[in-house]
Structure 1
């Protein structure tokens, strides 16, 4: 496998989906590639956590 450059659906920036990450996804049985860059994934997770704290 080779590194892939993907585009984040939230911010539109390019990010690298490394060969190692691809192997991890394959091992876990994930069919889809990530849609968000690391920063946007963290922001979305933080936003979700805030909703449950109320």
Structure 2
């Protein structure tokens, strides 16, 4: 596996899906690549948390 450059579906910025992250996704059984960069993933998680 090699690092992959992906484009965030929210902010449209390119981000790197590292080899290490790919291994983590595989270990967890995730079949698809992330659609959002880390910043957008964090922001989305914050929005979903109950207050």
Fold match (TM-score > 0.5): yes
Give runs of ≥4 in structure 1 deviating > 6 Å.
none
Q: Distance in 2 between matches of 1:27 and 1:42?
A: 21
Runs of at least 5 residues in structure 1 that lack an aligned partner in the other structure = none
Decide which structure has the larger Cα Rg and report it.
1
What's the C-alpha RMSD, in Å, of the aligned pairs? 0.5
Higher helix share: 1
Q: Which residue of 2 aligns with 1:20?
A: 20
Secondary structure of 2:23 counterpart: helix
Number of residue pairs aligned between Structure 1 and Structure 2: 51
